[in-house]
Structure 1
Amino acid sequence: MNIETDTATLNDESFLEWVGIKRDSESKKPTSDVTYFTCLKMMSETVAKMPWKLYQKTNKGISEPIDNDIARLMKQRPNPFMTPTTFWNAVEMNRNHYGNAYVYVRRKFKRKKYGGEYKALDMWIMPSDRVQIIVDDKGIFAGKGKIWYLYSDEYSGEQYIFRTEDVLHFKTSHCLNGIVGLPVQYILKQTVEGVIESQRFLNSLYKNGLTAKAVLEYTGELNEDAVTKLRQTFERFGAGSQNTGKILPVPLGMKLTPLDIKLTDSQFIELKKYSALQIAAAFGIKPNQINDYEKSSYSNSEMQQLSFYVDTMLFVLKQYEEEVNYKLLSDDETEDGLYFKMNEKVLLRTDSKTQMEILKEGINNGIETVNEARRKLDLMDMEGGDTLIVNGTYVPLTKVGAAYDKAEEQDTEENSDSDNPINEPNTEGGENTDQDEQEQETAETNEPDTDQEGGEDDGEENELHKKKSNEKND
C-alpha cells in the first residue's frame, strides 16, 4: 500500500499488515476450536438455565421461595440491560475462558430510624482481562492484608478500585493460591494449539481442492525467476478448489508427480478425536455432550447427565451459592435464615411418564401435597389440595408398633391366668382367698346334720322292739 496516494479502511488487509496485525491471528484463538467452544457453551448455558431462589430456614423447616428486592435482582433483572440468563451465561463464560469472573455489585446506603444498611441496586460484569487483583500487604488503602480489585475501562481508559465486599469473584477449580484461578486454555495450551493447527491443515486441504503437494520434474537448467514462473503457472491451473476436476496441461519433457499423503496413514481422525476428548475432560464435559457416542448410547444418557451434575457442576454451583450468600445477604438476613440456592432440578428433568410416577409416589406417601405437585407441572392450585394424604392403613410415626405392644400385653395376661387357676385355692393368700372361704361355707351348709339323723334311728328301733314283745305275750 502506498500511504501517500492510496486510501484504506481500518479493516483492509494491507492496513492491518502495515501496522503488524495479521488476520489469521484470529484463527489461533482457543475459541476457534470447535471442542473448546462447545465446552464453553455447555458450561455457560448449564449455569444460565438454573434459576436462583431465596429460601428461609425456620423451626418448622424450609419455607417457600421468598420474593423481595434482592431476590428480584437475582431472578428478574441484574441490571437494566441484561436478563438473568444472559447475565449468568456471560459470567460463566468469563470464568472458564479466563479462569476468573468478576461482578461488581453497586450499592446505596439506605437510612433507617436507627442507623441504616447498604442495599444492592444492580450488578455489572467486569471483563476478566480488564481486572487486576491487588493484595494490600502494606495497608496503603484501608487495612493491611485486604484484597482490592482494580478495573480498567477499555472505552474511557479510567480506572476504578473496588472493595472485595463489592465484587463477586468466581474462579476455576485449578487455583493454587485460593485467590486467582487458572483457565483451561493456559493449562492445556499445547493441546489446544495442536488441535488448532490440525484444523488449519484440514482447511488448507479443502482450499486446495483436497490436492496434496506435488513434485514437478523437468530437464535442463532454469534460473530462479523461471522456476518461480513455472511453479505459479502450474498452481494457477491445478491449485485451489476452483480448479477441482479440471485438466492440468503438462509441457513436453516435464512430469508432475503428486505426493500421496493419506490422512488415514497418519491417523489424523484418531488423533483429532483424542485431543477433543482431552479438552472435554479438562472441562469435566462427558463424551456424549460433544457428540461422541462411541462408548455410550442414548439409553444411558440420563445417567451420564446425572454424572455430569455430580462430578462437574456440583462444585461450580456450590461455589456460586457460597459467594452470593456471603456478599449479597446482610448479617441480619443470614441470621434470619435467608439463603440463595440455584434450582439444580432443571438438570435432572426426565420424560413425562417418569415425572408423573415420581409425583404420584410423592403424593401417595405424604411427601408433598397435590397442589405442590401441580405447581411443578405449572398448573393452578385446587381447593383442598394443600392437605397431605396417605393410605388409610398407614399409622403415625409415633404409633408405629403399638399393635405389637398390645399383643404382648395379652400374652402376658394369659400366661398369668394359667399359672394361678380360679378353682385351686391359693395357699399364699392371694386374690382367691375370699372366694375359697365362700365356697367352704356353702359346702358346710349343704352337709346333713348327723346328730339329728342318729336320734331318729334310735326311736324307730325301740318301737319295733316293743311290738315284738307284745306279740310273744299274746
Structure 2
Amino acid sequence: MRLFGREIRSQPKTVYSLDDKKFAKLLGIELDDVSADKAKEATFYACLRIMTDSVSKLPLKLHKSTEDGTTKENGHYLYNLMKLRPNPFMSSSTFWKMVEFQRLYYGHSVVAINHHPIGKDAGKVKSLVPLEMDNVEIWIDDKGILGEESNPIYYIYTDRNGKQYKFKNSEVLHFLGMTKDGIQGMAIKDYLKTLIDNAQASTAYTNNYLRNGLHSKGIISYVGDLDEGKQKALQERFKRLAGGVSNSGSLLPLPIGFDYKSISTSMADAQFKELSELSIQEIASAFGVKPHQINSLEQSTHSNIEHQQKEFYVETLQPILTQYEQELTYKLLTSQEVNDGYFFRFNVDVILRSDSKERAEYITTLVEKGVITSNEARGLIDMPKLEGGDKLIVNGSYIPIDLVGTQYGNHQAIEGGDDK
C-alpha cells in the first residue's frame, strides 16, 4: 500500500510459529526432509539468548548531573517505572529481553509510549509497550501530504483484531540494529541467511549419518544379472541388515558372489568438523558474541577468556546500551529535565558481580583513593550506611608535591637555606 510519496518495505503481516516450516523458508531454508522442530540452528538461537540475557540483567537508572557530581534520582516517577515494571504485563528484565530480541531478529524494535491523558499526571509516561514487529509498518510523508514538519515518520501498528494505530516518531521508542538509512534496520537473519542455511544442512547431514548407523553409502557388485524387482528386494535387504543406529558396528553378511565397495565421503574427508566450527564462529561474530560464550574453547585460556569478556562489553554491549540510553533520555524526559542534567544509564557494574574478588578490589581502591566514601561503597554491595561513613578517606602519607619533606621538619633544605 502506498499512502505517501515514498514507501518503505514493511514487515509481512503473516505471523509464523517458530516450529512452522514457513518460518524456515523465511530464512531461505528448505525443510522438506527435516522436521522444523529439529532444524533450528543451535548457534543462532544461542547467540540470541546470550545477547538478550546480557541486556536484560543490567539495571536501568535515572541520574542527574550537577556541578557537585552525579546523583541517582530515585525520587523521580520514571525511576521505578523503568527499574521495576515498564508496563503491567512485564518486569523490567522481561521488557528489555523482548526489546533486544526484536532488535536483533527483525533489525529494529518499536515501543509505544503510553501517556496519562488527564488528571494531575497528564502528559507523564504511564507505560511502555513493545509492539509486535510482524505487524509494524514504517511510513514517511516525504510529499508533505499531512501538512506537518518535513518528512515526518509514522509507525502503523495493526493488532490481532485488524485495528490499526498510527504513532508519530515522538510517540514511540525506536531501537535499531544495523541500518543504512537510520530508519529501517537490517535483521541479522537476513545477512546470515547463507551461514544459517549451511549450518542447517550440516545438522541434516549429521542426523542422516546417524540414522544410517554411521554406515556409508556404497555399491554392491554381483557377477550376473538382476531384474528390477530383485534389485529393489536386494536394496531393502541390505538396508534392513546394515542401516540404522541399531546395526552400527555390526558385521554385514554378504552372499557368495557379492562384493561391497563404499563410495561415500566420510565426515573427516569432508572436513565436516572444521566447516561446522567455521559456521559457528561466523554466526557468533555477526552477533558480537565471543567464542567462549558459545562453548568454543579451542583457542581459549583462563586469561584470554577474561579479556574476551571485557571486549564483549566494550565492543558489543556498549554501543547497544548507548543507543538505548540516548533514545530513552530524548523521548521520555522533558526538554527542561534534559537541560537540568537528567539522563538514563544502565548500571554495567553488575557484569563484575560474578567475580567477587575483582569487584572487592575495585571498590576498595575507590575508597582508599578518596573517590567514594565508605557508605557509598557499602551501597554498591547492598549494605546499610554506618555513622561516620560519609567522609572521604585517603592514606595519611599522601601530601601535595610542594610540601614534600615538611613532615620531617626539613624546611631549610626545601627552601635552599643552610643545612648545617
| Preserved contact between residue 154 and residue 168 of structure 2 (Cα < 8 Å) | yes
Residue number among 22, 35, 54 corresponding to 2:43 in the alignment: 35
Give 1:192-271 correspondences, 5 Å limit.
192-245=196-249, 248-271=252-275
1:168 matched to which residue of 2? 173
Q: Larger % of helix: which?
A: 1
What SS does the aligned partner of 1:262 have? Answer: coil
**Counterpart position of 2:79:** 71
Q: Go from structure 1 to structure 2 and tell me whether the alpha carbon gap of 1:70 and 1:36 turns closer, same or farther (over 3 Å shift).
A: same
TM-score by length of 1: 0.74
Whether the 8 Å contact between 2:74 and 2:80 is mirrored in structure 1 is no
Decide which of 312, 318, 327 is 1:308's aligned counterpart: 312
Bigger CA radius of gyration: 1
2:118 maps to 1:100: no
1:269-292 Cα distance to aligned partner (Å, 9 max, x none): 111111211111121122222222
Shift of 1:308: 1.1
The amino acid that maps onto 1:133 is: I
Matched, 1:317 2:321: yes
- What is the letter of the counterpart of residue 166 of structure 2? I
The 2-side partners of 1:285 and 1:47 are apart by 13
Change (3 A) 1:138 1:242: same
| 1:184 corresponds to | 188
Measure how far apart 1:28 and its partner are. Answer: 9.0
In the TM superposition, what are the counterparts of 1:312-351 in structure 2 within 5 Å? 312-349=316-353, 351=355
What is the aligned partner in structure 1 of residue 36 from structure 2?
26
Q: TM-score, normalised by structure 2?
A: 0.83
Aligned to 2:123: 118
Deviations 1:29-70 (A, max 9, x none): 7xx222212211111111111010001112211113423322
- 3-state SS of 1:169 partner: strand
Report how many residues are paired: 389
Q: Which amino acid aligns with 1:42?
A: I
Kindly indicate whether the alpha-carbon contact (under 8 Å) linking 1:110 and 1:119 is maintained by their aligned counterparts in 2: no
1:152 CA drift (Å)? 2.3
Do the aligned partners of residues 157 and 177 (structure 1) sit closer, same or farther apart at CA in structure 2, a change above 3 Å counting? Answer: same
Amino acid in the other structure paired with 1:146: P
Following superposition, the deviation at residue 184 of structure 1 comes to 2.1
Name the counterpart of 1:150.
156
Counterpart residue identity of residue 43, structure 1 = M
CA positional deviation for 1:178: 1.2
Shift of 1:310: 1.1
1:167 counterpart letter in structure 2: V
Distance apart, 1:206 and its partner CA = 1.2
Q: Following the alignment from structure 1 to structure 2, what is the Cα–Cα distance between the partners of residues 225 and 133?
A: 62
Partners of 1:177 and 1:160 in 2: CA distance: 24
Query: Given residue 36 of structure 2, which amino acid in structure 1 is its aligned partner?
Result: E
Is the 2:48–2:101 Cα contact (8 Å) retained in structure 1? yes
Establish whether residue 391 from structure 1 lines up as the match of residue 395 from structure 2. yes
Match of 1:274 in 2: 278
Q: 1:315 and 1:247 mapped to 2: Cα distance?
A: 59
User: In the alignment, is residue 129 of structure 1 matched against residue 134 of structure 2?
Assistant: yes
Provide the C-alpha distance between the structure 1 equivalents of 2:108 and 2:20, rounded to a whole number of angstroms.
34
- In 1, Cα distance between the equivalents of 2:229 and 2:319? 64
1:242-278 residue CA offsets vs partner (Å, 9 max, x unmatched): 3335555544544443335321112111111112111
CA distance, structure 2, for counterparts of residue 21 and residue 297 of structure 1: 38
Give the equivalent residue in structure 2 for 1:55.
Answer: 63
Q: Percent identity?
A: 37
Q: Which residue of 2 aligns with 1:422?
A: none
Give, as a single letter, the amino acid of the residue that structure 1 aligns with 2:67. N
Structure 2: unaligned runs, 5 residues or longer: 1-18, 22-29
- Deviation string 1:299-349 (CA, Å, 9 cap, x unpaired) is 232221111111111111111111111111122221222111001122244
* Pair 1:354 & 2:358 matched: yes
